Structure 1
Amino acid sequence: YMPQGLGKNLYPTLSVFENIDFFGRLFGHGRSERERRIGDLLERTGLAPFAHRPAGKLSGGMKQKLGLCCALIHDPDVLILDEPTTGVDPLSRREFWKLIGQIRSGRPGMSIVVATAYMEEAEEFDQLVAMDAGRVLDTGSPGELLRRTGAASMESAFIALLPEEKRRSHRIVEIPPRDES
């Protein structure tokens, strides 16, 4: 499980290596197995050069990668990511999802459950559960939700699934071009 918020599952005074090692110990992995897994995770995430840096001194994107390493150290069958890219810069977001894609390719049996408010991220998932205020609005693949709502985008599909009173109050914000005269 990787909680929402940059580095919420990390210990800021522990190094990158020590954070991952801590989570590996929680799951009872022996020293050699932990070190093998940590080395692999550090290489795959690009964090190897920062293994001895305190977690509190990492950038937001690096904290997210470290949080992911801590969630993956025990090779789970189900990985739960709670808004993993909120507050992360666009380049780090792209790198994060590329890394998740590589993990999915290497572990096709692993289920990944993601909570996100970014519809462009949701479009990449196999199955979606559209929710509002804790209530399930609809489920299905991105294509199925688009077809059922007749929407051209996931944002429009989500709005179409909202209760009538919320749909009525929704307004698209349009910023007119600057008048050059």
Structure 2
Amino acid sequence: MSSNLSSNKNNLISEFQNIDLEDDKKKGELYQPNEYLDYLSKQLMNDYAKYFQLRPTAQIEELDELLENLLTHMEEFYGLIEQIRNNGNQCVDRLSMVLFSKIDECRKLFAFIDKLEKIVNHVSIQVSLMERELSRAEKMMGAKTSTVKKLFSILTSGNQSSESQSRFRYIPQDIFKTEELLKT
């Protein structure tokens, strides 16, 4: 085992002497293989550090640009929402004013319609009464209107006709005036 160790040490020393260092000054400083190993490990660490070293400036600039772009779009979106809200409020205000005036007109119209319904009801009652009176008069006069009875009534004109007229007396209904109904 000790022979194995000594052969490894000899191999390391021979490799150390055969190394082509970039800097001759460094070669002069490295006299022992341990120093060489320290140098190599430091060199390796520096290389790995350079490899893993992130260059955040480019990434940060890209991220800043993206954030600025997002903020710009958010401000535009907020402005659009604010404009929509303002336009909506203006439309609601305008429409509410129009609706309030239309509601007043509708109330007046509804009152007029109610009045017309009362007039139509009153006229309907009056027409029914007139039709009833007309039917009654037609029944009373219906017997007199036949052609035979007309001839006899002409021949016997005298006291009988005045008696029959007094028996079938017509009492006229009061006629309403539409102007009076509209005033109420």
Structure with greater helix percent: 2
Shorter-chain TM-score category?
A: under 0.3
Structure with greater strand percent: 1
Please give the TM-score of this superposition, normalised by the length of structure 2.
0.16
Indicate the structure whose relative CO is greater, using CA pairs within 8 Å and at least 6 residues apart: 1
Please give the TM-score of this superposition, normalised by the length of structure 1.
0.16
Structure showing greater Rg: 2
